[in-house]
């Protein structure tokens, strides 16, 4: 159980604004200031140049761990709060018990000492551009290259096709990914990272949820819920798909349609998964190079036994995907 923690700002009617106005950031006129350059007039920033703010916020974070025994925090706009604050807070929290920290941000520096996981915003953007026909699979090669080389290995990045911001301001997952939605979901679970399900996705929620108002979800069975269940079942039992130091890296398997089809292996001495995903609106017949993918597999979705060797060719439907488990 983790709590959402908003350390950057408060509401205007937060008692702290009256009890400790010196803790609030000010604009050039000396008035309380929202986060600069953003259209967030309903909030006031805290001033982290004030040591009292840091102590108060750290003590409050510690309270919920020590008194309620929560397991960590999802930290809103974590990059708008000084990194050294988070580094110190994490040290103090870990003296109570080991915690899990998720940053609503995308910066490798936050992983150095403070955060276990951060949002994969650029992954979402890359897959969105591909499924909208504005980019090709090269965008994912760029993402995964940065993920492997620029970020620590023992961290997680959160993969998502929807979240509260995306759904409210940019569109549902159906609007964002169109016919490529299932392909995006499969990659979000089979690739590196921790997949997120936003409220209502498992029920195929077809609309944008109201951001500031109660907006009940109509719960029902849905094929996307079934897909997530099947993917999560494999991720849970297959050690190659586990996260951070407990799992394995994705290794690119070069194929004959590299701008349209993403293919990769994740394997260790116990488990192996070979995934092939067509990120295009056309059927693809692909061949593969080298021999990393060779093996005797089970097609995870059909249950059929398949032997993949050097002369392998695979037929993929538009936006189709295959997951082979050895």
Sign of the CA dihedral 144, 150, 151, 152? positive
CATH topology of domain 2-246: TIM Barrel (3.20.20)
Question: Which pLDDT tens digit goes with each residue over 13-52?
Answer: 999 999 999 999 999 999 999 999 998 999 999 999 999 9
So what's the architecture of 251-325 in CATH?
Sandwich (2.60)
Mean pLDDT of 197-225: 95
The reported pTM is: 0.95
Average pLDDT value for the chain = 97
Closest residue by Cα to residue 124 from 85, 81, 171, 77: 171
- The whole-number pLDDT of residue 176 equals 97
Query: What DSSP letter does each residue of 278-308 carry, written as one string?
Result: E-SSS-EEEEB-SSTT-EEEEETTT--EEEE
Helices (H), 132-222: 138-149, 164-165, 173-177, 181-190
324 pLDDT above the threshold of 90: yes
311 pLDDT above the threshold of 90: no
Q: What's CA 222's distance to the chain center, in Å?
A: 22
Q: Are 73 and 101 in contact (CB under 8 A)?
A: yes
- Reported confidence tier of residue 212, pLDDT bands at 50, 70, 90: confident
Closest residue by Cα to residue 229 from 147, 300, 152: 300
Q: From CA 256, how far away is CA 229, in angstroms rounded? A: 31
| Domain definitions of the chain by residue range | 2-246, 251-325
- Reported confidence tier of residue 211, pLDDT bands at 50, 70, 90: confident
130 pLDDT above the threshold of 90: yes
């Amino acid at each position: 159980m983790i709590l959402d923690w908003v350390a950057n700002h408060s509401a205007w009617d937060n008692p702290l604004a009256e009890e400790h106005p010196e803790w609030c950031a000010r604009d050039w006129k000396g008035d309380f200031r929202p986060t600069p350059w953003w259209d967030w007039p309903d909030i006031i920033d805290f001033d982290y140049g004030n040591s009292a703010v840091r102590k108060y916020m750290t003590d409050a974070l510690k309270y919920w761990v020590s008194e309620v025994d929560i397991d960590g925090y999802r930290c809103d706009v974590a990059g708008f709060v000084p990194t050294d604050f988070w580094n110190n807070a994490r040290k103090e929290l870990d003296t109570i018990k080991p915690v899990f920290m998720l940053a609503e941000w995308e910066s490798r520096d936050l992983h150095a000492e403070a955060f276990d996981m951060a949002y994969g915003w650029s992954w979402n953007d890359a897959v969105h551009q591909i499924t909208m026909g504005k980019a090709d699979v090269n965008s994912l090669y760029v993402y995964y290259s940065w993920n492997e080389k620029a970020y620590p290995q023992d961290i997680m990045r959160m993969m998502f096709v929807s979240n509260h911001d995306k759904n409210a301001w940019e569109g549902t997952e159906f609007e964002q990914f169109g016919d490529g939605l299932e392909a995006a979901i499969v990659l979000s679970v089979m690739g590196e990272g921790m997949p997120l399900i936003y409220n209502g996705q498992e029920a195929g929620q077809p609309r944008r949820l109201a951001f500031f108002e109660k907006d009940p979800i109509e719960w029902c069975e849905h094929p996307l819920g079934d897909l997530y269940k099947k993917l999560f079942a494999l991720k849970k039992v297959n050690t190659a798909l586990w996260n951070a130091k407990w799992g394995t890296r994705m290794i690119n398997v070069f194929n004959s349609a590299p701008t349209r089809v993403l293919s990769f292996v994740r394997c260790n001495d116990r488990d192996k998964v070979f995934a092939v995903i067509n990120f295009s609106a056309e059927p693809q017949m692909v061949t593969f190079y080298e021999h990393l993918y060779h093996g005797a597999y089970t097609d995870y979705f059909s249950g059929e036994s398949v032997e993949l060797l050097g002369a392998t060719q695979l037929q993929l439907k538009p936006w189709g995907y295959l997951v082979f488990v050895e």
